[in-house]
Amino acid sequence: MLEELLKRPIIPVIVIENADDAEPLAEALLEGGMDVAEVTFRTAAAAEAIGRIAKRFPEMLLGAGTVLTVEQANRAMAAGATFGVAPGLNPHIVEHYREADELFIPGVMTPSDIEQGMAFDCKLLKFFPAGAAGGVKMLQALAGPYASSGVQFCPTGGINLDNMMDYLSLPIVATIGGSWIATKQQIADKDWTAITRQAREALDRAG
């Protein structure tokens, strides 16, 4: 799963309030060339949305985001999510995913966080909140001591079409997370055409 995920330069970060929007949203992303999504556990509809997408579009690499508890992790995996993501690094969640033999991407912001992730053999770390935590300059600074460690980053937070390549151009960055690909308002408005267009624009920009 990690190898497959690293082939995708952008992971759309999705907040779904209504599970009925899950399938048309996934279809819009696929039409835009994106076969990956992180559905966050910020809403009551998350597990059902993941289940619907996993059943209808098994070709998608489908992750669960904002996984803060073991209970959420279990619901996400049962629904069909094939990887998990969190804003921070909770050792209990990391171990739970390891025991389940599932990919987990913990969030980090400091050198101490990174080294804790390395201790758990996490090869991909979510740098969050990227913009507020120093953005590209912070990642460039972190590349000094950690570039040879084998760890790579998925910065998320404050990234958009205009600055995405600033992040993707860094060798230490493997992929980025982007909530602008499908905004909450666009999903609520069922503006699937805009989401498809934004997915295509982002992939075109990524090359």
The catalytic residues are 38, 126
Instruction: Judge residue 114's burial from the number of C-beta atoms within 10 Å of its C-beta, 0-12 exposed, 13-18 middle, 19 or more buried.
Output: buried
Max intra-chain CA distance, the chain:
46
Instruction: Judge residue 121's burial from the number of C-beta atoms within 10 Å of its C-beta, 0-12 exposed, 13-18 middle, 19 or more buried.
Output: exposed
Q: What is the CA radius of gyration of the chain?
A: 16
Q: Are strands 176-178 and 152-155 parallel, antiparallel or unpaired?
A: unpaired
**DSSP string spanning 26-47?**
HHHHHHTT--EEEEETTSTTHH
